[in-house]
Each structure stands twice: as structure tokens, then as C-alpha cells.
Amino acid sequence: MVNSNIYLILPSHRGHSLDFLTVGTNALRCQARWAAIFILLLSVLATLAPLTADAAVQPRAVPELPGFYQRILTLPEATLYEEPSDKSLVIQARVQTFSVLYVYDCQPSDCTGWLQVGAKADRIDGWIAAAQTQDWRSMLVMQYAPRGRRNRVVMFKDEDALSAIVAANDGAAKARSMIDQIDAGHADPSIVAAVEPREAVNPHDSFYLMPILSATEANFADDTPTRLLQIASVNRQPPRAVAPPVSTQPAAPKFRIGIVFVLETSNSMGPYLERTKQMIKEIYRALESAGTADRVSIGLVGYRTDAEHIKGMEYTTRIFQPLDPNAKPGEILSRLDNIRKAEAYSKGWREDGIAGLYTAMNELDWTPYAARIVVAIADSGLIGGNSPLAHNPGIDVPNIVELADRKSIAVMPVYLMTPEGDRWGGRGHDMDQWQKLSRAPDASQDKDNDKHVGIRTVGLFGTLLDGFSKRLVELVGTIAANRPIEPPTPPSPASDEDVAARIGQTLVNELFRAQLEYLGTVAGTPAPSFFRAWASDRDLVNPALPALRVRVFLTRNQLNDLGASLSNIVSEAKRGSLSPQTFFDNLQRLSAITSSDPRRQGAYGPFSSIEESNLLPAYLKALPYRSKVLRMTQEIWLELGLSGQQEFINELEYKLRSYHDIEQDNTSWVDLGGGDRGSEVYPVPLTELP
């Protein structure tokens, strides 16, 4: 069994950058010893001088947020001067739009004229006119939610026009009419500032930044809550003014679909595995007959319980067929016979589906595929990341959801509710796990219409597979003929007779979304080129669907600092779970130790909540969203009880694992002007913050 990991986050020797240093150990057995080490490390850190090149050179502090410095975003045409005058020496003309800079000084003192700025927290670069900058305290940004059933986002010139649509009883009809007018090229320029492009803007291929400048809460007429957001946007790479002749364009990459079947291969799965293999054979026969087999690659991953604990289990996860765009159907079909049910019996009913999903997402090459889909088929729930049977300790459902979101992989679970599973119990818990996984990565799949499908008989399972394969072959034919997929309709209720249609519509949703992103990538579709506008974070036509996703742009340094702070709280929470009354006493001591550290500025006196302790980075307080961890008080902690306290600890440990994985993913970090690795930024999902 792989040992669980504790991430010690220590200062590196590269300026202010902090690195994750992994120490393999069993967290449950060694928690007291590691907690002591954390306290010792903090004691040493507290005696060190501030980690700046020049202690006298520091950005302007935000008084109400200890340890948080004033920062701005540069606007188009911003110019960096040597002195606070446009007559002085130009250091840099046209600073890259939306560069993030620290503010060191102002002229006059109210910061309305000139700002002395620097890309780093220990270096002054020059002066910029305040009118060419935007104050940016929250670090909140918006990204378009994946395109599925939701409508295009409309940006309004002022808040009042947007509020009127949101509050109106016929707001949905008005919004639908407005979008129709926009599609027809008749948008009202006095109301509409911009609109999301028809083709989806793929942030992985066309970076865009939409910082939130202000936000207000509102409700639709049906009482669905929303946030009205003033956002800004400027393309980092402006759209091409004139497209080159078609003959000079490189050939567009072929739209390929990667589908990986993640199969539970436990002893009870025999008939379902055989029916799945039959379906895969039928898919390839139909695709070969239509001449479209080159559009689809199928991967096969099996999983069971941890093989180290059970004799004869053979494996925990096994890749029977990797994703390979060059693999021939016959090669894939020949490997189906290797997939068999286990002869050994598991301990308990749940299997390590987390390990299977993690293997499928991390060990297979998804890069050649425009559409990326995992179909998970299981008759049990998932072994949790805190279980001694977990093959990957510390990794659970939230980590898989984050990973799927980061890699744009849709998860379609098929949960087999067999009589054997009924006898073991825990059905509600298992269904909740699969339902959470089914909402990755498409936020437009609301909780009432997720991609999870529950099946009770082998016959109904066969009906579902037939519906899936038939719809897949039809959609591949549409794509191969260069025709657009029709927008998806809401899936039918999860009744037995509608199960084939339901999974078919779910597949339509995923391929429709992927096709829009593919077309946007091929066309180089940029985000709308405008500066300020107002938008709702919910679909104006169907408020149940998210339209925008909240992200927080953190630098590598900030993410590591957050991890260090959270690790300390987790250590004290573990000690406090053994003696709940001492949790806040331990935090008080920890805060006192860090109070002399300028980077942390812990509280000197007593505090009633984690927020008041200043143990977590100050920027969390600046976010206009409520934090579960910051709100934690001694009373709430005690009311949780032992099980609730352990759940709290597990949740934070899963977040720490996500921070580690995000930090290690070098494909998504972006330099916004800092010029070094520690200043690169990543749009961390708000749900990943404590």
C-alpha cells in the first residue's frame, strides 16, 4: 500500500518562491510528531528576517488586511515612466494589458494621479498614470462555464439594464428575445456591451482574463439567487484583423473523441462486464461500417480493491488499453478478453474506483482528443481517500472532480444498483459519490440533471448501452460530415423506460460542448474585446444553469503560502480531534508564534474564530464569498462532534492534495508580468479554497 503524504511547505532558495516538499508517512500514525515539527518550523521561521531583497522596499499595505499589499491591473496603452510625469523617460511603452503590479507609492496620496509600481513585492519598476490602471483587490476572475445546455452570456453596459431582466417575471422570455436579436445581428448597442462568441472560447488554447471589479447579490423572479458582476476583459492576444487566405491555413486537426471505460472488475461484476464488452464490439463494427472508426479511440481501465491487502486480487488498477489514436479496432477488441471479473472477494462492498479514475485521467494521453469522456461502470461505492484500503491515500472525490475540470474530461457514471449492493447498505452514500463525480467538468449540468445513471437489472443495463452506442455512432457521423451537432435538450427523468434516451442526451451535451470548443480553437476565437460590462453568473434564460465560473488568480507563491497555513491548521485540528477542547488553545499558541512573522502576522491576543487568528492569508478575507474555515469557532468545532471534525479534517487534506497537483501542473500557469516562476498565476476554482 502506498503511504499517505504530508506536504511540508518550506522556503526555497529561489527568491520568495515556496516549493512543496513531500515527506511520505502515515498521517494517522504520526500526526502528533508532525504537529510538533510544524510548530518547531514555525518557531524557526518566526525568528528569520523578512524574505525580501530590501526590507525598506515594500508595497503599500491594505490596512484592514494584514500582510496583504495593494495591487493593480494595467489597462490598454499603459506606459511605465521613470518619474511621475509623462515628460520623463519612458521605461516601457504599452505594458502588457492586465499585468498585475504592486503599488509602492502614490502622487497625490489618494492615488488618483500617479502610482509607483513593481512586478514583484521587493522591486520598484517605475510610475504609471492611475487612469491607466484598475485597482484589483479581490483577485477574483470569471471564466465561461462549459457550453452545454446553457445560453450565451450577454454583457450589459450598466447594472440597471441587467437588473431589470433578472427581476422581471418575463425575464427569461426577454432574455431569449435579446439573444435571438444578437444572433440576427440586431443587438441594441445602448444596452449590450458584448456577447460571448458562438463558438466556445477555450481557455487552454486562447487565454483570457475577466477580473471581477464589483459584485452585488440579486434574485431572479423565481427566487434563484445570482450575483450581478461588473467584469473587465481585454484579450491578451488581440483577434486577427484580416484572416489569411484559406490556402495558407494549416489543416485543422481532426476532431477526435477519446472514450475511456473505467470498469469495476470485482467478483460481482461478471454479467455487466460481458455486456459492456459486447457493446464495445458493436460500436466498432458500426463505426467501421460507416468509415468513421478513425474518429474514436477507446481506452480500457479496470479497478478492484487494493491488491496488497487481499490475496489473489491480482491488481488494484490495470490499463488494458491505453488511449491511442493509431490503435486499430482489431487490436483493441483483442484486449477485451483480458477483462475478467476477480476470483477473489473484496473486504466489504466498496472498491477503489478513485484509483481507477485517477489512473485513467493521469496515466493516459488525452491531448489528441477534442472530446474527452470517462464512462465509469460500477456496482459499488468508492473507497475514500482516508481509508486504510485506499491505494492513493489523500485522494477522494473532490480531487477527481478538480482533476477532471483541469483536463476537461467529462465523467459519465453508470451505477448498478444490484440486489447484492442493497444487502450491504450505504446506497445513499454511494449514489452521492457518483452524482458528485457526474458533474465534472460541465457546470451546466445542474444537480437535478446530472450525468449519473442508476440501473437495477442486466436487461436495463443492456438497453442503456444500446442507447449509448447508437447515439455515439450517429454523432460521430455528424462530426465526420462537418455538420454541427444540434444543441442538447434537457435529459429526460431517470425512469427505467427513459434510460437509453437519457444517456443519449447526456452524450449529446458532452459532444456539443466539445465541438463548440473545437471550432473556437480552430478559428482562434478570442474572448469579446471590451473593457467593462455587467453580467449575471447564471443563465438569463434558465437561471438553474451556471453561466460563469468563479476563479481566484493565485500566484505559485500565494498557493504555497496557503498550503503552508492550511497544513498548520490541519495539524492542530488532528490534535484537537483527540482532545476537542484544546483545538482553539493550540491555534492560539500557533498564532502567537506566527505573530512576529511579517508574512503571516498572526493575532497577538485571544480570538473567537479562525478568521480572527490571521493564520490564513489575508486575501481570503477580501473575497466576497463565505469561507467555511474562516467562520470556524470553538462552538462550531465542538458541535461537529468526532465524525464532523474528521470530515472537516478530510476536506482540508483533500484541498491540500489539490494544491499540490495544481502546483505540479506546469501546463496551466500563466505569467502576467512578474517575470519569474513564483509570480505565475493559475485560476484556482473558488471551491478549492478553504
Q: In this predicted model, what pLDDT tens digit does every residue of 97-106 receive, in sequence order?
A: 778 888 999 9
- Mean pLDDT highest for which of 1-15, 19-33, 355-369? 355-369
Query: Higher-confidence residue: 78 or 444?
Result: 78
Task: Quickly count: other Cβ atoms within 10 Å of residue 420's Cβ.
Answer: 13
Q: What does the pLDDT read at residue 33? A: 42
Mean pLDDT of the chain: 78
As a whole number of angstroms, the distance between CA 577 and CA 251 comes to 60
Instruction: Please tell me the total number of residues recorded for the chain in this structure.
Output: 690
Q: Is residue 6 very low, low, confident or very high in pLDDT (cuts 50, 70, 90)? A: very low
Q: What does the pLDDT read at residue 31? A: 42
pLDDT more than 70, % of the chain: 79
As a whole number of angstroms, the distance between CA 93 and CA 601 comes to 38
Q: Residues with Cβ < 8 Å from 371, sequence gap 6 or more?
A: 255, 256, 257, 258, 410, 510, 511, 514, 515, 518
- Mean pLDDT highest for which of 447-451, 501-505, 640-644? 640-644
As a whole number of angstroms, the distance between CA 202 and CA 567 comes to 34
Domains along the chain with CATH numbers: 5-55+553-568+592-688 (no CATH), 71-135 (2.30.30.40), 146-239+526-546 (no CATH), 257-523 (3.40.50.410)
As a whole number of angstroms, the distance between CA 109 and CA 105 comes to 8
- Residue 237 scores a pLDDT above 60: no
- Residue 38 scores a pLDDT above 60: no
CA nearest neighbour of 262 among 382, 368, 349, 344: 382
The CA distances from residue 359 to 78, 318, 320, 364, in Å, are 46, 8, 12, 7
- Residue 183 scores a pLDDT above 90: no
Q: Count each helix (H run) and each strand (E run) in the chain, helices first.
A: 16, 23
Helices (H), 250-352: 270-290, 329-334
Q: What does the pLDDT read at residue 636? A: 86
Task: Quickly count: other Cβ atoms within 10 Å of residue 223's Cβ.
Answer: 7
Q: In a 10 Å sphere around its CB, with 0-12 CB exposed, 13-18 middle and 19+ buried, how is residue 618 labelled?
A: middle
Q: Is residue 83 very low, low, confident or very high in pLDDT (cuts 50, 70, 90)? A: very high
Q: Residues with Cβ < 8 Å from 1, sequence gap 6 or more?
A: 306, 308, 309, 388, 389, 391
Q: Is residue 594 very low, low, confident or very high in pLDDT (cuts 50, 70, 90)? A: low
CB 301 within 8 A of CB 359: yes
| Weakest-pLDDT range from 20-24, 197-201, 613-617, 628-632 | 20-24
CB 139 within 8 A of CB 619: yes
The sheet with strand 192-195 has its strands ordered as: 192-195, 154-156, 532-536, 225-232, 212-219
Q: What does the pLDDT read at residue 542? A: 92
β-strand partners of 552: 140, 684
Q: In a 10 Å sphere around its CB, with 0-12 CB exposed, 13-18 middle and 19+ buried, how is residue 202 labelled?
A: buried
CB 415 within 8 A of CB 464: no
Q: Cell for 502?
A: 437519457
- Residue 154 scores a pLDDT above 50: yes
Q: Is residue 308 very low, low, confident or very high in pLDDT (cuts 50, 70, 90)? A: confident
- Residue 41 scores a pLDDT above 50: no
CB 94 within 8 A of CB 77: yes
Q: What does the pLDDT read at residue 626? A: 66
Region 57-85 average pLDDT:
84
pLDDT tens digits for range 365-384: 999 998 999 999 999 999 99
β-strand partners of 298: 259
Q: Cell for 638?
A: 465542538
- Residue 266 scores a pLDDT above 60: yes
pLDDT tens digits for range 455-504: 767 788 888 888 888 989 999 999 888 888 887 776 555 554 577 777 88
CA nearest neighbour of 561 among 46, 18, 142, 140: 18
- Residue 55 scores a pLDDT above 60: no
Task: Quickly count: other Cβ atoms within 10 Å of residue 526's Cβ.
Answer: 19
| Weakest-pLDDT range from 89-103, 184-198, 589-603, 669-683 | 589-603
- Residue 113 scores a pLDDT above 90: yes
Q: What does the pLDDT read at residue 400? A: 94
pTM of the model: 0.74
As a whole number of angstroms, the distance between CA 552 and CA 249 comes to 36
CB 23 within 8 A of CB 8: yes
- Residue 323 scores a pLDDT above 60: yes
Region 143-150 average pLDDT:
81
Q: What does the pLDDT read at residue 90? A: 93
For residue 120, the one-letter residue type is K
Q: Is residue 507 very low, low, confident or very high in pLDDT (cuts 50, 70, 90)? A: confident
Q: Is residue 628 very low, low, confident or very high in pLDDT (cuts 50, 70, 90)? A: confident
Query: Higher-confidence residue: 237 or 29?
Result: 237
Q: Rounded to the nearest 5°, which phi and psi values hold at 264? A: -70, 125
CB 447 within 8 A of CB 439: yes
As a whole number of angstroms, the distance between CA 529 and CA 194 comes to 8
β-strand partners of 129: 114
